[in-house]
Amino acid sequence: MSRRSKNNQTKRNTVEFSEKDFLPTTKAEMDALGWDKCDVILVSGDAYIDSPFIGVAMVGRMLERLGYRVGMIGQPDINSGVDIKRLGEPRLYWGVSGGSVDSMVSNYTATKKFRNTDDYTPGGKNDKRPDRALSVYCNLIRRYFKGTVPLVIGGIEASLRRVSHYDYWQNKLKKPILFDSKADILIYGMGEIALEELTRAIEEASDYTHIRGVCYISKEPKYEYIQLPSHQECVDDKERYIDLFDDFYDNNDPISARGLCQKVDDRYLIQNPPCDYLNQEEMDANSNLPFTRELHPYYRKFGKVKCLETIKFSIMTHHGCWGECNFCAIGVHQGRTIRTRTEANILEEAKEFNKYKDYKGIISDVGGPTANMYGYECVKKLKKGTCDDIRCVDAERLCKVMHVNHERNINLLRKVREVEGVRKAFVASGVRYDLITADKKHGYSYLKEMVEHHISGQMKVAPEHTQQHVLELMGKPGKGTLVDFKKLYDRLNRESGKNQFLTYYLIAAHPGCEEKDMHELKRFTTDELKMNPEQAQVFTPTPSTYSAVMYYTELDPKSRKKIFVEKDTKRKEKQKQIVVAKECFKSGFAS
């Protein structure tokens, strides 16, 4: 029997989900469960999408497993108390998140134009997520629940704004978000272990200020912690802000990090060291939580959420990324150490897709923040934590201690393809092409697997630029690696009889980049890559990234030397148009 025939004959015991399969989001659902009160109510800038890819849904299911009664309010109306009051007041605390994306990034383009669409809002119209959602939701709760139980904030918006940070949309340094939101406690990073410990501490009315992975406000400094420059010092002196960010960035690893203390007016932001990462068994356990992978019926009547098209039948293989691109905050939020699930657990998830009637045998993605970091890590880092003085990979080279090995990833992908019901398993997550060329033993085989089985006509790579001085400021590999990779990719396509091409992510107006650099980028893509870029994005200075520090200070954080930073919106757009302008050229194969 052929592979396709076998998959077409797969028998599925499909399931239908109703409100009882979700965490309650209305009083009627609470009544049906026999609850008079929730222990915790989670408030989010997203509609309630019950997926392992949605952070607030993961938090809810984790708390449910621990025995707590959890309610969910997604995208509450901020102009009335109707939504925020519909579940009453929780017994222990409110858990507040801005959603899966920082609300300002979600609502505005790089040139500060309002986005009309939102992939996490039913119907797709961007009319439910407020600017600075965390602060708005906290104020909404306090407006209708005077003297309420603690407000605990978390998620990407909280995590990346936990110390003084540059806000691109107001073009100024803002205070740590605990001060602006008036929340009580902040859980940062992935924070799974901190969540459990904090919930128990609140339930027992015990002290939580020792719990790793949390931030809080204190009237007194904590002298045993690193003393960061005060907020006012950072406002007065941009180099002091770089000093703050260096200490902030270097203290994100559970093994090596120290706590941080920052004076803000007459009080202090206290950041305890990060909580431990989940081990492999705990990663698997979280993946086994009873997610429906659906939009809650309460929100379904308003339309579909676009994000489900990509995340519903996708598999997250690992957390963390050590790529350290300076414009990306994944390393700060998820961590720079890879934590993986077991192959058996991943394969079981792929098999579980068969129970959904709308599953057609297509897995949208098997990956993580960087797909080809699955299955290996630096032995030194696992014992001693991340290094302060050297990166795993930068514009110059890959650290010699980091032994890239795609073998486990190759075996995983082969096993996923053999799961009953799977017709195609794509790898849509980002792939570091420099890691493929660095792996002399298995890099060729990994790319061959990708070309033959896991690409849908194109493979997305992210060189971002080609000029060395810009790449160094971005923390990206040199263009020579890209040329070598493209040659190998084209060769494998020829050998496989395929005509698949590469799609390149490119950034315009990054700190250090001038118009002449974009002209050179255009020349390189035309002459060397034999293609006309159709997409490029204007750089957005997002909180908790070195690139945002560069944008604000106009200094190279390493050398403290002045760098060019384009801040005029029209000239930013011009940089983008330079590289996407249509030009005629002699086309090469698979380009």
Taking the C-alpha atoms of residue 211 and residue 274, their distance in angstroms, rounded to an integer, is: 9
CB atoms within 10 A of CB 541: 22
Residue 298's DSSP bridge partners are none
Q: Is 168 helix (H, G, I), strand (E, B) or coil?
A: coil
Q: Tokens standing for 214?
A: 């949390």
Taking the C-alpha atoms of residue 17 and residue 318, their distance in angstroms, rounded to an integer, is: 27
Among the listed residues 124, 74, 125, 126, the one whose alpha carbon sits nearest the alpha carbon of residue 105:
126
Tell me whether residue 321 is annotated as binding. Answer: yes
Compute the C-alpha angle 65/355/66, nearest 5°. 0
Taking the C-alpha atoms of residue 178 and residue 186, their distance in angstroms, rounded to an integer, is: 7
Among the listed residues 589, 370, 371, the one whose alpha carbon sits nearest the alpha carbon of residue 501:
589
Q: Tokens standing for 381?
A: 């880092």
Taking the C-alpha atoms of residue 76 and residue 47, their distance in angstroms, rounded to an integer, is: 9
Taking the C-alpha atoms of residue 381 and residue 385, their distance in angstroms, rounded to an integer, is: 4
Taking the C-alpha atoms of residue 349 and residue 365, their distance in angstroms, rounded to an integer, is: 13
CA distances from 439 to 426, 430, 458 (A): 22, 17, 22
Please say whether the beta carbons of 488 and 451 come within 8 A: no
Q: What are phi and psi of 132, to 5 degrees?
A: 50, 55
| Helical packing angle, 546-553 and 238-250, nearest 10° | 180
Tell me whether residue 513 is annotated as binding. Answer: no
Q: Tokens standing for 126?
A: 């961007």
Taking the C-alpha atoms of residue 13 and residue 3, their distance in angstroms, rounded to an integer, is: 21
| Secondary structure (DSSP) of 446-491 | HHHHIIIII-SSEEEEEEE---HHHHHHHT---HHHHHHHHHHHHH
Tell me whether residue 387 is annotated as binding. Answer: no
Taking the C-alpha atoms of residue 213 and residue 195, their distance in angstroms, rounded to an integer, is: 9
Annotated binding site: 321, 325, 328
Binding-site sequence positions for [4Fe-4S] cluster: 321, 325, 328
